[in-house]
């Protein structure tokens, strides 16, 4: 097996629920998807989730848990995807104007979302899983490197 490092990509997704509806973003191609995006260098995963949700929808969110972590290993790269659950903070009104990246967001019921052109069915699957009572793991499942182990600091 080669010991040559391969590129690794990290993505975050926000499954935001509020008053029986989910936050979806209208993409540049007029498809709909969850607020999501790539983690930038030096950025923590949870911070990336908050940033992406706001940039894409205009809604400030607070992550509340981890719904799913996926890892994909390709021949020339790896990919890690974290699906966060979140709730809106402050004003939950989405932006509805083009910002150069997305057309903003909308709060949709699952029935309304199913009527839209969804970029990938996994957006619906994530919302359906949450709606059906899927286990949500605490945010502390993922900690920064070097975080204390039950009160013990490494090093």
Largest CA distance in the chain: 54
Identify the pLDDT of residue 66: 98
Confidence of residue 65 (pLDDT cuts 50, 70, 90): very high
8-137 to CATH, choices 3.30.360.10, 3.90.79.10, 3.40.50.300, 3.40.50.720: 3.90.79.10
Query: Is 132 a residue whose pLDDT tops 70?
Result: yes
Domain ranges of the chain: 8-137
pTM over 0.95? The answer is no
Q: In this model, does residue 1 exceed pLDDT 90? A: no
Q: Which long-range contacts (CB under 8 A, 24 or more apart) does 108-116 make?
A: 108/21, 108/22, 108/24, 108/32, 109/20, 109/21, 109/22, 110/22, 113/22, 113/24, 113/32, 116/24, 116/31, 116/32
Mean pLDDT of the chain, nearest integer: 94
């Amino acid at each position: 097996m080669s010991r040559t490092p391969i590129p690794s990509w990290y993505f975050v997704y926000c499954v935001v629920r509020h008053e029986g509806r989910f936050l979806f973003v209208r993409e540049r191609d007029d498809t709909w998807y969850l607020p999501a995006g790539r983690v930038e260098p030096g950025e923590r995963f949870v911070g990336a989730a908050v940033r992406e949700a706001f940039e894409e929808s205009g809604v400030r969110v607070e992550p509340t848990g981890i719904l799913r972590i996926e890892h994909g290993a390709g021949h020339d790269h790896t990919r890690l995807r974290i699906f966060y659950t979140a709730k809106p903070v402050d004003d939950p009104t989405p932006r509805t104007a083009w910002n150069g990246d997305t057309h903003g967001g909308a709060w949709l019921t699952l029935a309304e979302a199913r009527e839209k052109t969804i970029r990938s069915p996994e957006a619906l699957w994530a919302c359906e899983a949450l709606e059906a009572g899927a286990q949500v793991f605490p945010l502390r499942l993922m900690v920064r490197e070097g975080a204390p182990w039950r009160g013990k600091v490494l090093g």
